């Protein structure tokens, strides 16, 4: 590298006013001298002279100079900038750009009071012809160092658009290397806003932030990592720039790409030999993972990729594949099926609703039942009322009819109430029980609505019901359909009869019903009958012959005792009770 003494810089600055050949030679020496003091290779200041091999270590990238280095050079360049209108040597502005690296800018910003009034930083950053020349060099120079300095200044300068235009122009691989290897600078809020704003108005065209695909393998590992980190700034070229990461030898580069790559590349990275990369890619395709650009296309890719991941050599990926399979609408059960439907509704509401309709019409029994339950959890009962009525009117399997009767509780229309009433004499006991349960919910939600007369007729003339579920649901409907402060003597009598029934299943259903009617509003709803029913539940918990009845009655008592303790604590009763009785045993258990 060229070696020059900064003390010779003032003499070189004087030669700028001499003959053109002499001035050009002095200008070139000043630029090389600035590059040496900034710690960069002189070829980064040459037009088209930067070799891609510089990315592999032949280039000393800018380092933090010592506080006293280059003082004579800076003063000479400051004088040359002040007189640039006379000698018109643009290389002086380029030399100033070379010296305006991050450490010098930070030191100037923090300790400007101690700097010489004639320093290049003071001259370049405080206005005048020197500032105009430096701005022009930053925006228009084709030297690789200009793109790097524009990238560094993008987070501080006020004229961000001009600097961003220079960052977008990169003709050489080394220009991409210089910016991408410093991808962490994009975390600055001002740079982040500028990049996102420009990406949003690019209209599907490359913004120039990312390099073409053939350039990426020639960059360093840090720069290849930077291509993944800056993919958000150039979405049109992201797939092309990240595709070489599929065969990259650095697992950290593949991991960074797996987190931002388009769906078709993520599908290949799911089969990566590194556990972290494969797991990150599998999470991207998951319905609960990071959002993938083009979500509908990603779901199609996931549908073909995730089943094959069950044979992955990585245990964590196999586990994710199994969990994801349960989240496919129609395959999962319980909360997982509901999660699958909510994710589908988020991405495509109309398509998700059409998919549910196809599932409950054409799927196998397990899929139809799972689809109905998921639709209920997602609040789609009203949108599927026509399909539910058709299920109850046709000779559907009893399990499907029972599920449809449960979901119809969310509708509450006269047609749905009529359909529920029509299946009260269905041959399957579960269908009858679920229909009574739905009628009770509709009546409790809309007292005076179409379901209330049905519950009233059943309560006024209750026929003997052999099925324990249907009997419990009828009593619960009678209680919930009554205003909170009204007594329900018929329901009280029926609940007491269930708790004293000789049949274990009826006592079990009675204990279940007591656990839902006695706590909460039970004391006000049941009035004087509350104490008697609580005593019966306590006797069942102590000495019933069936262990299932004892367990369910005990659960009801625990809820009642917890409410009593909470009420006492709220009234300050617990604070007034002694901590122990005469025997010394605790009374607050």
The model's pLDDT over 503-556, given as tens digits with 9 standing for 90+, comes to 999 999 999 988 888 887 777 777 778 888 888 889 999 888 899 999 999 998
Sorted by sequence, the CB contacts under 8 Å of residue 42 that are 6+ apart come out as 1, 2, 31, 32, 35, 36
Q: Could you tell me the CA-to-CA distances from 183 to 12, 228, 231, 502 in Å, in that order?
A: 37, 9, 10, 77
Q: What's the pTM value of the predicted model, to 2 decimals? A: 0.60
Instruction: Enter the DSSP assignment of 234.
Output: -
Which value, to the nearest 10 degrees, does the dihedral of the CA atoms of residues 201, 203, 207, 211 take?
150
pLDDT greater than 70 at residue 66: no
Q: What is the pLDDT of residue 170?
A: 85
Q: Which residue has the tokens 């790559």?
A: 261
pLDDT greater than 90 at residue 255: yes
Q: Within 10 A of 446 (CB to CB), how many other CB atoms are there?
A: 14
Domain ranges of the chain: 1-180, 482-589
Helix axes 91-99, 129-140, angle to 10 degrees: 80
Which value, to the nearest 10 degrees, does the dihedral of the CA atoms of residues 394, 400, 402, 403 take?
-120
pLDDT greater than 70 at residue 115: no
Instruction: Enter the DSSP assignment of 363.
Output: S
Q: Could you tell me the CA-to-CA distances from 514 to 240, 405, 476, 493 in Å, in that order?
A: 65, 23, 9, 13
* DSSP string for 380-445: -TTTTHHHHHHHHHTT--HHHHHHHHHHGGGT--HHHHHHHHHTTT-SSHHHHHHHHHHHHHHHHH
Residue 158 pLDDT grade (very low, low, confident, very high; cuts 50, 70, 90): low
> When comparing pLDDT for 246 and 488, which is higher?
246
Q: What is the pLDDT of residue 465?
A: 72
What tokens were used for 48?
């088209």
Instruction: Enter the DSSP assignment of 54.
Output: G
Q: Within 10 A of 49 (CB to CB), how many other CB atoms are there?
A: 14
Using H for helix, E for strand and C for coil, what is the string for 439-487? HHHHHHHCCCCCCHHHHHHHHHCCCCCCCHHHHHHHHHHHHHCCCCCCC
Q: Are 145 and 44 in contact (CB under 8 A)?
A: yes
Strand partners, 586: 580
Q: Could you tell me the CA-to-CA distances from 194 to 208, 390, 487, 520 in Å, in that order?
A: 14, 56, 68, 57
Q: What is the pLDDT of residue 288?
A: 59
Q: Within 10 A of 206 (CB to CB), how many other CB atoms are there?
A: 16
Q: What is the pLDDT of residue 228?
A: 93
pLDDT greater than 70 at residue 583: no
What tokens were used for 105?
């800018």
The model's pLDDT over 269-315, given as tens digits with 9 standing for 90+, comes to 989 999 999 999 888 887 655 444 445 555 666 667 878 888 889 99
> When comparing pLDDT for 3 and 218, which is higher?
218
CA distance 201 to 195: 10
> When comparing pLDDT for 347 and 486, which is higher?
347
Instruction: Enter the DSSP assignment of 571.
Output: H
Q: What is the pLDDT of residue 222?
A: 92
The model's pLDDT over 179-221, given as tens digits with 9 standing for 90+, comes to 999 999 888 888 888 888 887 777 677 878 899 999 999 999 9
């Amino acid at each position: 590298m060229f070696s020059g003494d900064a003390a010779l810089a003032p003499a070189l600055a004087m030669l700028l006013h001499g003959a053109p050949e002499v001035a050009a030679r002095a200008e070139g020496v000043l630029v090389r001298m600035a590059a040496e003091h900034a710690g960069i290779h002189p070829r980064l200041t040459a037009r088209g002279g930067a070799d891609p091999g510089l990315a592999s270590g032949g280039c000393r990238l800018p380092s933090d100079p010592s506080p006293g280095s280059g003082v004579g050079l800076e003063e000479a360049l400051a004088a040359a900038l002040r007189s640039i209108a006379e000698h018109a040597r643009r290389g002086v502005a380029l030399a100033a750009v070379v010296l305006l690296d991050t450490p010098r800018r930070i030191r100037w910003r923090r300790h400007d009071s101690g700097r010489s009034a004639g320093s290049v930083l003071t001259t370049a950053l405080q206005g005048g012809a020197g500032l105009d020349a430096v701005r022009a060099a930053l925006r228009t120079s084709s030297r690789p160092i200009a793109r790097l300095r524009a990238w560094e200044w993008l987070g501080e300068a006020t004229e961000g658009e001009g600097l961003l235009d220079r960052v977008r122009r990169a003709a050489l691989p080394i220009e991409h290397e210089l910016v991408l290897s410093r991808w962490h600078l994009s975390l600055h809020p001002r740079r982040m806003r500028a990049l996102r704003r420009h990406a949003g108005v690019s209209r599907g065209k490359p913004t120039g932030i990312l390099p073409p695909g053939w350039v990426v393998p020639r960059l360093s590992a840090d720069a290849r990592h930077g291509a993944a980190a800056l993919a958000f700034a150039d979405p049109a070229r992201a797939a092309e720039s990240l595709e070489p990461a599929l065969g990259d030898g650095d697992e950290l580069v593949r991991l960074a790409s797996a987190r931002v790559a388009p769906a078709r590349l993520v599908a290949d990275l799911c089969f990566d030999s590194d556990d972290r990369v494969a797991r990150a890619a599998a999470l991207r395709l998951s319905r609960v993972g990071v959002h993938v650009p083009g979500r509908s296309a990603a779901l199609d890719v996931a549908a073909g990729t995730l089943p094959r991941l069950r044979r992955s050599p990585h245990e964590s990926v196999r586990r994710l594949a199994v969990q994801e399979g349960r989240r496919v609408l129609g395959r999962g059960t319980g909360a997982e099926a509901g999660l699958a439907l909510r994710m589908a509704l988020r991405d495509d509401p109309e398509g998700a609703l059409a998919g549910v309709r196809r599932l409950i019409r054409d799927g196998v029994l397990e899929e139809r039942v799972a689809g109905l339950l998921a639709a209920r959890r997602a609040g789609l009962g009203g949108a599927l009322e026509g399909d539910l009525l058709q299920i109850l009117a046709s000779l559907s399997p009893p399990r499907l009819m029972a599920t449809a009767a449960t979901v119809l509780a969310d509708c509450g229309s006269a047609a749905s109430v009529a359909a529920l009433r029509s299946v009260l004499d269905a041959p399957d006991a579960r269908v009858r029980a679920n229909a009574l349960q739905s009628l009770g919910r509709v009546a409790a939600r809309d007292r005076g609505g179409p379901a209330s007369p049905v519950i009233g007729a059943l309560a006024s003339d209750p026929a003997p019901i052999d099925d324990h579920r249907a009997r419990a649901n009828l009593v619960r409907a009678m209680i919930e359909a009554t205003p909170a402060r009204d007594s329900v003597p018929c329901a009280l009598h029926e609940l007491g009869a269930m708790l004293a029934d000789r049949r274990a299943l009826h006592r079990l259903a009675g204990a279940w019903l007591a656990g839902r009617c006695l706590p909460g509003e039970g004391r006000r709803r049941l009035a004087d009958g509350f104490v008697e029913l609580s005593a019966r539940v306590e006797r069942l918990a102590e000495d019933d012959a069936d262990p299932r009845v004892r367990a369910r009655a005990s659960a009801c008592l625990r809820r009642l005792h917890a409410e009593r303790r909470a009420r006492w604590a709220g009234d300050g009763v617990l604070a007034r009770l002694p901590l122990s009785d005469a025997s010394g045993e605790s009374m607050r258990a």
